[in-house]
Structure 1
Amino acid sequence: MVDLRKKRLFKYPTPPAGAGWRRGAGGVGLALLLAGCHYHQAYPDVREHRVFFNDFEQMAGWLPEPAPTLTTERAHSGRYSVKVDSAHPFSITYHFKLGDKFSMRPRRMRLSAWAWVEESGDDAQLTFSMSAPNDPQNKSKLYTQVFLVDNWPYKRWTHVSRDIDLPPEVSSQAEVAVYLWVNSAYRPVYTDDWELTELH
């Protein structure tokens, strides 16, 4: 009899003690902490799967009060996008705990979006941060950005992305945040259709 456990296409290394990961190939637990995000379940016979996607079309009706960074001034799809400027340097933020999305430790992710930047000096950044659990100083264990001005042309919607390698000692309790930061941009910068994908 063939041992089907040896036929798994993707193997994850054994997590460090206390990391909190389950060793079996269970279903992916999910808690959508930001309304308007759509989820696609992972299967072991695919090369990637979507962790979240947000086109911001449902956000206006779900937020407790109007968000100043949710705008209809420009949009890549639908009516809404996210905008940052000097008055509102941080956008609405997507939060999740790593263990709520994955039963086994992910190794690599890809963060992507569509961005509208007026000029090269408007260097806003789409940011991915992951904080260690129970850290009294709230230090980021991982902090990386998608640099929007690195992609031409300007004054039109352009697709941007960056691959993110997660540290091997990451805990299932790690907190992830994705948000747009104005950095030193002095004109409004827009993003739409955020997507985070796990890469096998």
Structure 2
Amino acid sequence: MRPITALVSLLLPATLLFGCTGSSSSQGASANDKTLVSTDFDEFRGWVSNADSSLSNRQAYSGRYSLTIGAGREYGMTFKYPLGELSATKPRTLNVQAWVRTEETTTPAQLVVEVLKPGTNERVFWKGIHLFGGSKPGKWTKLNTDLVMPDNIAFDHILGVYMWGNGAQKPVYLDDLQITSAD
């Protein structure tokens, strides 16, 4: 029984960090599925942690976890994945939806969506989406915006997504992030 317990205790954290593909964190390149990113931050396929983990269990819109920045934490966990592995067609417009909770009326915090050339990390596209739009302090507010992609994106380019505190003094939480191809 002990070898099985040891194996489970070693494999469970690795599975949670690197391989979860449940319905709340799925990515796929099928022609019918236009979902590129979908997570409630209870699973992490494609997400990499920075030195100061931004995963929080203090507030969550659904599940147990959300991402948080602000109050001294400048960057959140980062999603990086090749576009060609996320979509069977080149996306022209991305729809970004998430739930945001701020602790102040306005915040400089942003959700950044970028597209990078592999190897060089040269930016092909960069957009910071302000996270205070219409939010009430202490309440979850839905974020919903469309981003038009430039014509020069390619399947080998890397889609990057992360939260940027931009000097935010109080915590900002993000949960239930979904990015789909709106084409």
> Is 1:150 aligned to residue 137 of structure 2?
no
Q: Is 1:42–1:50's contact at 8 Å kept on the other side of the alignment?
A: no
Shift of residue 175, structure 1, vs aligned partner:
1.1
Larger radius of gyration: 1
The aligned residue for residue 27 of structure 2 is 39
- Secondary structure of 2:77 counterpart: coil
- Mind listing any 5+ residue stretches in structure 2 that lack a counterpart? 1-17
Q: Is 2:50–2:78's contact at 8 Å kept on the other side of the alignment?
A: no
> Is 1:196 aligned to residue 171 of structure 2?
no
The aligned residue for residue 11 of structure 2 is none
State which of 152, 163, 174 in structure 2 corresponds to 1:180. Answer: 163
Shift of residue 102, structure 1, vs aligned partner:
2.4
- Secondary structure of 1:99 counterpart: helix
> Is 1:130 aligned to residue 115 of structure 2?
yes
TM-score, normalisation: structure 1: 0.70
Structure 1 residues 171 and 91, CA gap change in structure 2 (3 angstroms): same
The aligned residue for residue 16 of structure 1 is none
Q: Is 1:108–1:198's contact at 8 Å kept on the other side of the alignment?
A: yes
Matches within 5 A, 1:1-200: 35=20, 37-39=25-27, 42-43=30-31, 49-59=34-44, 68-135=53-120, 138-200=121-183
Write the deviation string for residues 108-166 of structure 1: whole angstroms up to 9, x where unpaired. Answer: 1111210001113322111101112343xx33111012211122333200001221111
Structure 1 residues 130 and 41, CA gap change in structure 2 (3 angstroms): closer
- Mind listing any 5+ residue stretches in structure 1 that lack a counterpart? 1-32
- Secondary structure of 1:150 counterpart: coil
Shift of residue 182, structure 1, vs aligned partner:
0.6
**Aligned pairs, how many?**
161
The aligned residue for residue 10 of structure 1 is none
Q: Distance in 2 between matches of 1:148 and 1:63?
A: 21
Structure 1 residues 67 and 35, CA gap change in structure 2 (3 angstroms): farther
Q: Is 1:121–1:185's contact at 8 Å kept on the other side of the alignment?
A: no
Shift of residue 88, structure 1, vs aligned partner:
2.0
Structure 1 residues 134 and 63, CA gap change in structure 2 (3 angstroms): closer
Identity over aligned residues, as a percent?
A: 25
Higher helix share: 2
Report the aligned-residue RMSD.
2.7
Q: Distance in 1 between matches of 2:19 and 2:109?
A: 22
TM-score, normalisation: structure 2: 0.76
Q: Is 1:83–1:91's contact at 8 Å kept on the other side of the alignment?
A: yes
Q: Is 1:39–1:50's contact at 8 Å kept on the other side of the alignment?
A: yes
Q: Distance in 2 between matches of 1:58 and 1:69?
A: 14
The aligned residue for residue 12 of structure 2 is none
Higher strand share: 2
